[in-house]
C-alpha cells in the first residue's frame, strides 16, 4: 500500500490530522490497534479550547459540537466553604466549550468514513522502518496477515505506550517526567450537574472536581491514594466523600445516583524531545502527557496537529520544508507552557502525602491571592482557555 502520510493511532489526534489533511487533498492511512467501538468507549475529558473548536470547523466536523456543546465563560474554584469565580469572558474575551472527547472522536470517525478515508483496525506488530530516510515505511499485521505501507511521512499519534516514540533512538531522545503521588477516582452518572460551571475544589480531605458532559450526565472526581482500587469505593462512599470536599451549599444540592462508569487514573507530567526524527513526527500523548487538572491533554494534542498539518500542507503545496523543519521546536514551545500550567494548577489544588503545614499555608495564600488579584486570574484564564498557536 502507498500513501502520503501513514498515521499510527486512531484516537482523536490521529483522526483530526487525517481529516485536515484530506481537506487539503493529502492522502493518509490511519492504523488503530483496537476497534472503533473500543476507542469510543474511552471516557476522557470534555473541555475544548477555542483552538480545537476552530480545527474542528476547518475539518468540517463542528456541526454537532456547536449544536450540543455548552459554552462556559468561567469556572469556580473553592477552598473549604469559600468559592470564587474566574471569569474567562471578562478576562480574555474567550470561553471554553464543554463537549465530550468521545463525541469529538465520534464526529471525526463519521467524517473519515463519509469521505472514504482509509482506517485499519485491529492492527498488531506495528514497526516503523527507515524513518530517518526519505522513504519511510510501516509494517504491521492484521488478521494474521503481514502488511506494509510505503509513505512520505509517518505521524505517531499512538499514545504513551505506542511504538512511535520508542522508534526514535535512545541516543536522540530525551524524556522528562514527574509522577504525582495520588490519583483521580472518577465516576460518570446520569444526574444533573451540581453547578452550571466546573468546580475545582481544594479541601482538607483532598482535591475534587465537579464536571459534566451535558444537562443530564455528570462527571465527578476525587483525589485518592495510588494504592486504592475501584473495588474499594462503593457509589455511596464516593458521593459522601465528594460532599465533604465541596462547599456546603453545593453539597446540599448535589444530585446522586448509580455510577455508569468508575475508574482510577494516575497523574503524571511527561515530555519527550524532540518531537521529530527524520520523517517521523510525534503528536499528542506519544510526545507528552499532562495531569488532567485543567483538561489540557486533548487540547495540547490539537495544537500539535495544527502545526503538523499546516507544515505538511505547505510541503505538498510548495515543496517548502520550513514547516516540517520547525515542527518540533514550535510544538514543544507551546507544550512546555501547557505543562507548566497543568503542573501549577495540580500543585495548587491537591494535597500531597508529604505536604508540610508550611506547604498548606502557601496553597491557601496562593488561592487567596488568585481570588483577589485580577492579573493572577487573567494569567490563569489565558492558560485555561488556551494559549495561541
pLDDT of 345: 98
Edge to edge, the sheet with strand 47-48 lists 47-48, 96-98, 70-72
β-strands 5-8, 137-142: how paired? unpaired
| Candidate list 22, 72, 306, 309, residue with the active-site label | 72
What is the per-residue pLDDT across 131-181, written as a single tens digit (0 to 9) for each?
999 999 999 999 999 999 999 999 999 999 999 999 999 999 999 999 999
Confidence band (pLDDT; 50, 70, 90) for 46? confident
Exposed e or buried b for every residue in 179-201, given b needs 16+ CB within 10 A? Answer: ebebbbbbbbbebbbbbebbbbb
For residues 36-58, average pLDDT = 90
Q: Establish whether 296 is a catalytic residue.
A: yes
Q: Establish whether 38 is a catalytic residue.
A: no
Confidence band (pLDDT; 50, 70, 90) for 43? low
Confidence band (pLDDT; 50, 70, 90) for 204? very high
What DSSP state is assigned to residue 220?
E
What is the per-residue pLDDT across 275-304, written as a single tens digit (0 to 9) for each?
999 999 999 999 999 999 999 999 999 999
pLDDT of 272: 98
**What superfamily would CATH give domain 180-267+353-385?**
D-Amino Acid Oxidase, subunit A, domain 2 (3.30.9.10)
CATH architecture of 5-70+98-177+268-346: 3-Layer(bba) Sandwich (3.50)
Domains 5-70+98-177+268-346 and 180-267+353-385 share a fold: no
| Candidate list 22, 288, 296, 330, residue with the active-site label | 296
Is the predicted pLDDT of residue 121 greater than 90, yes or no? yes
Tell me the backbone φ, ψ of residue 225, rounded to 5 degrees. -65, 150
| Candidate list 136, 292, 330, 350, residue with the active-site label | 292
Whole-angstrom Cα distance, residue 289 to residue 266? 11
Q: Is the dihedral of CA 154, 315, 284, 20 positive or negative?
A: negative
For residues 29-50, average pLDDT = 89
What is the per-residue pLDDT across 67-115, written as a single tens digit (0 to 9) for each?
999 999 999 999 989 999 999 999 999 999 999 899 999 999 999 999 9
Whole-angstrom Cα distance, residue 105 to residue 238? 29
Per domain, the residue ranges of the chain are 5-70+98-177+268-346, 180-267+353-385
Whole-angstrom Cα distance, residue 28 to residue 4? 6
For residues 54-78, average pLDDT = 97
Top-confidence residue, 38 or 240: 240
Q: Establish whether 292 is a catalytic residue.
A: yes
Nearest Cα neighbor of 301 from 277, 316, 285 is 285
For 351-389, give the secondary structure using H, E and C. Answer: CCCCCCHHHHHHHHHHHHHHHHCHHHHHHHHHHHHCCCC
| Candidate list 79, 109, 220, 384, residue with the active-site label | 384
Give the helix/strand (H/E) hosting 23: helix 12-23
Cβ neighbours for 138, distance < 8 A, ≥ 6 positions apart: 6, 8, 31, 126, 127, 128, 129, 148, 149, 151, 154
| Candidate list 79, 182, 200, 221, residue with the active-site label | 200
For residues 205-217, average pLDDT = 93
What is the per-residue pLDDT across 122-143, written as a single tens digit (0 to 9) for each?
999 999 999 999 999 999 999 9
Whole-angstrom Cα distance, residue 176 to residue 343? 13
Q: Establish whether 200 is a catalytic residue.
A: yes
What is the per-residue pLDDT across 303-334, written as a single tens digit (0 to 9) for each?
999 999 999 999 999 999 999 999 999 999 99
Q: Establish whether 66 is a catalytic residue.
A: no
Mean of pLDDT over the chain: 96
Amino acid at each position: 500500500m502507498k500513501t502520503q502520510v501513514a498515521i499510527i493511532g486512531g484516537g482523536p489526534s490521529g483522526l483530526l490530522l487525517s481529516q485536515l489533511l484530506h481537506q487539503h487533498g493529502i492522502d493518509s492511512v490511519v492504523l488503530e490497534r483496537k476497534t472503533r467501538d473500543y476507542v469510543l468507549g474511552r471516557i476522557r475529558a470534555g473541555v475544548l479550547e477555542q483552538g480545537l473548536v476552530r480545527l474542528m470547523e476547518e475539518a468540517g466536523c463542528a456541526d454537532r459540537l456547536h449544536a450540543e456543546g455548552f459554552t462556559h465563560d468561567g469556572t469556580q474554584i473553592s477552598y473549604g466553604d469559600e468559592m470564587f469565580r474566574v471569569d474567562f469572558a471578562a478576562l480574555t474575551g474567550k470561553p471554553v466549550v464543554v463537549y465530550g472527547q468521545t463525541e469529538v472522536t465520534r464526529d471525526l470517525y463519521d467524517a473519515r468514513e463519509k469521505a472514504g478515508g482509509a482506517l485499519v483496525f485491529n492492527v498488531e506488530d506495528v514497526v516503523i522502518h527507515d524513518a530517518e530516510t526519505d522513504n519511510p515505511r510501516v509494517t504491521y499485521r492484521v488478521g494474521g496477515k503481514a502488511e506494509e505501507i510505503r509513505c512520505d511521512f509517518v505521524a505517531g499519534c499512538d499514545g504513551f505506550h505506542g511504538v512511535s516514540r520508542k522508534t526514535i533512538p535512545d541516543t536522540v531522545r530525551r524524556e522528562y517526567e514527574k509522577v504525582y503521588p495520588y490519583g483521580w477516582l472518577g465516576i460518570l452518572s446520569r444526574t444533573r450537574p451540581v453547578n452550571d460551571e466546573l468546580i475545582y475544589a481544594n479541601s482538607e480531605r483532598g482535591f475534587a472536581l465537579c464536571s459534566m458532559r451535558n444537562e443530564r450526565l455528570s462527571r465527578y472526581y476525587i483525589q485518592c491514594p495510588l494504592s486504592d482500587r475501584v473495588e474499594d469505593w462503593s457509589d455511596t462512599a464516593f458521593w459522601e466523600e465528594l460532599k465533604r470536599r465541596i462547599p456546603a451549599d453545593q453539597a446540599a444540592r448535589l444530585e446522586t445516583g448509580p455510577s455508569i462508569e468508575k475508574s482510577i487514573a494516575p497523574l503524571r507530567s511527561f515530555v519527550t524531545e524532540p518531537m521529530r526524527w527524520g520523517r517521523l513526527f510525534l503528536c499528542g500523548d506519544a510526545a507528552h502527557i499532562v495531569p488532567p487538572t485543567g483538561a489540557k491533554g486533548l487540547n495540547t494534542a490539537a495544537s500539535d496537529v495544527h502545526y503538523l498539518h499546516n507544515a505538511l500542507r505547505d510541503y505538498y503545496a510548495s515543496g517548502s520544508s520550513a514547516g516540517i523543519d520547525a515542527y518540533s521546536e514550535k510544538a514543544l514551545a507551546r507544550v512546555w507552557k501547557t505543562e507548566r500550567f497543568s503542573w501549577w494548577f495540580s500543585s495548587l489544588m491537591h494535597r500531597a502525602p508529604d505536604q508540610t503545614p508550611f506547604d498548606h499555608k502557601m496553597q491557601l495564600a496562593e488561592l487567596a491571592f488568585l481570588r483577589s488579584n485580577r492579573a493572577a486570574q487573567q494569567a490563569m484564564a489565558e492558560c485555561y482557555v488556551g494559549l495561541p498557536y
